[in-house]
Structure 1
Amino acid sequence: MRIISGLYKGRRITAPKKLPVRPTTDMAKEALFNIINNQYYFEDISVLDLFTGTGNISYEFASRGTDQITAVDANFGCIKFVNETAEAFDMSITTIKSDVFKFLEKSAQKYTIIFADPPYNFDENAFSKLPELVFQNALLEDEGVLIVEHSKHTDLSELDHYSHSKNYGGNMFSFFEY
């Protein structure tokens, strides 16, 4: 994986093969960040990266100037890798080792963008729990957005607060807003 734009543009990051991850493709990530770039100033936002895995999305935000980034994952190896990479690049990414759903139930922090990249094999109930907890606990700022990455075979359009989806190859991004 590589960082698409910003201060660390072009830098390659190689995650250990033992991590249970499926990083967002460069093509899908570039398309997603083009959308975000048209709506927000990266320096002015706060980001929550759920199921962070390799930290791919967090690094992209940090490279573009976002300094309020929280990355959450239940896997110790993922959190360790994100911490090491963030330190090597001098990025301000706060990591939290936690089950994502437990984190969402307890968090009181508001974010401009919440990005979630859960395992593609999640069942419908698990996917529906993400926007449910985010909006029930008011974790988004007024102009904020929840973006959920999922397989093109998963349809989230019936969930509350669903706005729209974008399809990039086998990747889908569903957007949820107030």
Structure 2
Amino acid sequence: MRVITGKYKGRHFDVPRTFKARPTTDFAKENLFNVLRAYIDFPSTRALDLFAGTGSITLELLSRGCPLVVSVEKDRQHFSFISAVLRKLDDPAARPYCGDALRFVARCREQFDLIFADPPYALPELPELPDRVMQSSALAPDGIFVLEHGDKHDFSARPDFLAHRAYGSVNFSFFRRPQVADEEE
């Protein structure tokens, strides 16, 4: 696994072969971040990486200068790997969390400008993830939610849907939380 750009560009981290997680391919990851550049300013973006897996997206967000990146991973082996990589980087913006991503979102009191989720494609709750994120307080007003998923899902009918991109078998759906209407209007 390598970091594509930013302050950690070119850094390589060997993911153990025993991992169940499938890291997002470099091609898909590079294109994802090219799309995200149109929506967010990384140095001012507080980010949440759900179902962090290998931590690949977390590393790209940190490398691009996000002031806070919380990565949530339930699998203890994966969490230990992410934590070890983050210790090597010694980046104060990184905050790993070992726990269930769905519970984390439901209970989270912090707000994030960007939430990225790469759940197992077979996760029964995958179709509900946009609702769960939008109904939580975790995504800030005007915040972006990105869901990585297989090609069986189509979220384009949702009012908060922004865009869809497919790179081989990897699909990204982008959503935006509406701005809170000004109460004085």
**What is the TM-score of this pair, normalised by structure 2?**
0.89
- What amino acid is aligned across from residue 37 of structure 1 in structure 2? R
| Aligned CA distance change for structure 1 residues 48 and 136 (closer, same or farther; 3 Å) | same
The alignment partner of 1:120 has SS state of coil
Question: Once superposed, which parts of structure 1, at least 4 consecutive aligned residues long, lie more than 3 Å away?
Answer: none
Q: CA deviation at 1:84?
A: 0.6
Following TM superposition, by how much is the alpha carbon of 1:160 offset from its aligned partner in structure 2, in angstroms? 5.7
Task: Report how far residue 159 of structure 1 moved.
Answer: 4.6
Alignment match, 2:129: 130
Name the residue aligned to 1:33.
33
Q: Contact between 1:132 and 1:160, CA under 8 Å: does it hold in 2?
A: no
> How far apart are 1:143 and its partner, in Å?
2.0
CA distance in 2, matches of 1:85, 1:168: 27
Please, which moves more after superposition, 96-105 or 42-51? Answer: 96-105
**Distance (whole Å) between structure 2 residues aligned to residue 128 and residue 64 of structure 1:** 29
Structure 1: how far apart are the matches of 2:168 and 2:127? Answer: 23
Contact 1:116–1:149 (CA<8 Å) still a contact in 2?
yes
Gaps of 5+ in 1: none
Q: What's 2:88 paired with?
A: 88
Q: 3-state SS of the aligned residue for 1:114?
A: strand
Structure 1 Cα separation of the partners of residues 14 and 146 of structure 2: 25
Is the Cα–Cα contact under 8 Å of residues 131 and 160 in structure 1 kept in the other structure? no
Aligned residue type for 1:121: A
Contact 2:127 2:153 in 1 (8 A): no
Structure 2: tracts of 5 or more residues without a match:
178-185
Q: Give the equivalent residue in structure 2 for 1:112.
A: 113
SS at match of 1:48: strand
Q: Residues 50 and 115 of structure 2 are in contact (CA less than 8 Å); yes or no, is this contact kept in structure 1?
A: yes
Q: Which moved more, 1:19-28 or 1:148-157?
A: 148-157
Q: C-alpha offsets along residues 150-176 of structure 1, whole Å, 9 cap, x if unaligned?
A: 112332334563222111111110011
**Residue aligned with 1:15, SS:** coil
Give the letter aligned to residue 45 of structure 1: T
Counterpart residue number, 1:165: 164
Distance 1:131 1:153 in 2: 15
The aligned length equals: 176
Report the identity percentage. 35
Larger Rg: 2
Structure 1 window deviating more from structure 2 (131-140 vs 28-37): it is 131-140
Deviation at 1:58, TM superposition (A): 0.3
Q: Is the 8 A contact 2:114 2:144 kept in 1?
A: yes
Whichever residue aligns with residue 89 of structure 1, its letter is L
Paired amino acid for 1:131:
P
